[in-house]
Structure 1
């Protein structure tokens, strides 16, 4: 008996066999891995197969593969349009157990031998308890989130200004990561990183290393030469002992300086102390720090390299809104909610550059999957894989989908389009709960990105980045009193 992922209101479409194949054992997955990482790259890998199969749903292999990933099955059903991709949010049809990055799961020794919440399916008893705890952390941090961000924003841009004054340009990645790490530690852990000199100076780099070793087998590494990348980075799972000392220092920092948050996990949510700290570290390091470290540089580079007049329009909106809120020296959450273009710019950047490009889910039972123009039978246990940068360029949904156009998310029509913005493991119109897998910090990510842009255009008349990477080349400070046009 087939369950269905098709809306009863949708027009009928023909049922087809899922095209594509997995190739010969060992050789098929190896060829696909080399295409994915080396010969084509992720986007061309998926685009070329959509073109050859004339379908946005097809069978293929995904890394990691041969030779040392014992028990990892690379076979997936790719779902690359908005209709088929949305099935990944349907709890009744897909299971999210241990499929964060596909059939491969990094050893739980990376997370202190705790199977953290991101690997749990909502049907598992521990999921609701830990997800509720994460939502509670965010709710309690709301009062200080903006002020903590503001103080660290000032440090970040003071640093960039000094570097530009000395060398004419400044690499933005380290100052951004330091800013992100410091304000997230205060907001999530409730601790000042400077309480530990080593964590205060190097905590962001520790998290970078911890993340890299877990995700190396499934991540393309820019500027690392081939075939060395395949031989050294994508052929073996790296053991956690390389960073066990680093993780222990981060664990001890949270245990000592985040004791109030940890105690709340134990007393109010019934979570063991060890599991609480390991989940806090994962939320801090993977979900928050890792996600922001990808998304905020993409946002700043997109705005800083724009040649359509976007920066001028953003500056005008930010200053107009702030002038209409006398007594507020810095933008808060309420102020940025009035900045429609700022928010639309954040949404459009998330559409084209989602921080987590791949989403996975395993079929709970046999069901019928629908794309825009066909239906397909998916078998129980098959792993579905969606590549979001292609999904959110779906030409059936987005007009001129390859073009960066914040205006598509403005007005009533723009709000309607938010149901197709899937970056958070759910639609932007959805809400994270203890019963689903949508990112707990979905709204905080958007608000923080809006705060970043609002602060930039309140502080600077001009903000320019180089076209080749996240390098800031111009920061022209605004006059003390900014007239609003």
Structure 2
């Protein structure tokens, strides 16, 4: 059933499956020069926050498609045009996955693009459109990198997870609680480095124990102008973090250490990139670093804490159901060591992972520039998009579309079970494409889409194979651990 609020937000036009969608001009405006973008920026970062920013405009325009400004804006982002067409329902959002309609070059974070100095003056694969010849070569290499890592992926993840959980157990026993974010980041970095490039960070004097901190610094300076941080009071955050792009020299030393680490320890994968995919050595290293640091490490560092806190704070009986399923499957297989094969039999575990991805996607915004003039379709209307317009999809609302998902605002762990649940995977868009899609060189879907889901399932399964009780809070602290 549609909620009263969602009914109020529906546009006044309607359609059926057999009638054409009525046309409607895209509502909304960009406001007065300078004033309009500044007002929207302050609403987005300060007065409303991202979700309320989009919800309020959706209600005002009674449309899931509208015009607005998106940060970063005014005063020092020269050449950045903040004007976008926002897409907030499953139907319109899906246009972002059609290469014939949208161009993806240089729009990873909208019209703003961090200096190429952050990637060694190389346009790495996420900034390339599939129509560019380099995209096919680099993405093919990325897919091959993941495929070759499969033989050690599970063992490396479990080995590093064991170290992480031992550290948390010790801190909980000693102090009554333990923060898990930093141990988790250390676990993620070590496991990814070993899996993707065959290099153990602990053997490097420059990367060693703090490699994940070097990546955090490198990531932060690229993304700070576009994200709400909330650790310093307003208006200081606006003045200090959102008013100008940050220069690369502030993290050049950290990036150099990471580059040298990959160059020295990842010679086998670098040679494969050069020989099999015709990449230059420097191009290969910068792309490896971006895949390792931005895509994999950055994505896991956002998503896995959300997964842990959602399950760890649940009081509906979900933990008991997950624990029963995990142990039943392990017992039926006669195994004590977790594996992808075992985790794939745990349907509730997988559905829970999907549901957290639906509600808290690691990348909330997706962008694409109209390749040509076309008709954009929502559920109930069509809108004329002009060539060159920038489209902005906000996933946390698109994947709460009340015309697709029942109880869209609620956390429903078993939502994706059964045939009806599997059908909903067509509208799970967290990976820059539907969950039923396949990453190829012809699209921009995340190359590691399946690895992310499998690894998250492995994490949940291992926790409930080890512990009778696992309690965490929104501050990313484990407050209670009861071993099996």
Shift of 1:222: 2.5
Partner of 1:173: 181
Q: What is the CA-CA distance between 1:143 and the residue it aligns to?
A: 1.1
Aligned to 1:3: none
Q: 2:363 aligns to what? A: 356
CA deviation vs aligned residue, 1:176-218 (integer Å, no higher than 9, x gap): 1000000000111111111103312110010000000000100
CA distance in 1, matches of 2:424, 2:401: 12
Contact 2:199–2:266 (CA under 8 A) maintained in structure 1: yes
What do residues 139-169 of structure 1 show as CA deviations (whole Å, max 9, x unaligned)? 0111110000000010000010111111111
Task: Spell out, residue by residue over 1:407-462, the C-alpha distance to the aligned partner (whole angstroms, 9 max, x if none).
Answer: 11001111110000000000000000111100000000000000001100011010
Q: Which residue of 2 aligns with 1:470?
A: 476
Q: Is 1:118 matched with 2:133?
A: no
The answer (yes or no) to whether the contact 2:230–2:237 under 8 Å persists in 1 is: no
Q: Does 1:347 align with 2:385?
A: no
Give me the whole-angstrom Cα distance separating, in 2, the residues matched to 1:11 and 1:196: 64
Q: State how far apart, in whole Å, the 1-side matches of 2:356 and 2:219 are.
A: 23
> Are residues 1:108 and 2:110 paired?
no
The number of residues matched between the two structures is: 470
CA distance in 2, matches of 1:48, 1:332: 45
> Where does residue 261 of structure 1 map in the other structure?
269
Write out per-residue CA displacement over residues 305-334 of structure 1, whole angstroms, 9 at most, x where no aligned residue.
0011000000000000000112x3211111
Please, which runs of 5 or more residues in structure 1 have no aligned partner?
Answer: 1-6, 479-485
Alpha-carbon separation, structure 2, partners of 1:8 and 1:331: 48
Q: Which of the numbers 378, 388, 407 marks the counterpart of 1:371?
A: 378
Deviation readout 1:369-403 (Å, 9 max, x if unpaired): 01111110000000000000010000000000000
Deviation at 1:10, TM superposition (A): 6.1
Q: What does 1:92-241 correspond to in 2, within 5 Å?
A: 92-241=100-249
Structure-2 residue corresponding to 1:83: 91
1:322-333 matches, cutoff 5 A? 322-326=330-334, 328-333=335-340
Q: What residue number does 1:482 align with?
A: none
Which runs of 5 or more residues in structure 2 are unaligned?
Answer: 1-14
Equivalent position to 1:42, from 44, 50, 56 = 50
1:414 equivalent in structure 2: 421
Quote the Cα distance in structure 2 between the aligned partners of 1:362 and 1:303. Answer: 37
Are 1:252 and 2:252 an aligned pair? no
Distance 1:289 1:308 in 2: 31
Gap change, CA 1:452 and 1:472, over 3 Å in 2: same
Structure 1 segments of 4+ aligned residues over 3 angstroms from their partners: 7-11
Give the whole-Å Cα distance in 2 for the aligned partners of 1:176 and 1:109: 29
The one of 309, 328, 336 aligned to 2:317: 309
Aligned-partner SS, 2:300:
helix
What is the aligned partner in structure 1 of residue 68 from structure 2? 60
Aligned CA RMSD, in angstroms, stands at 1.1
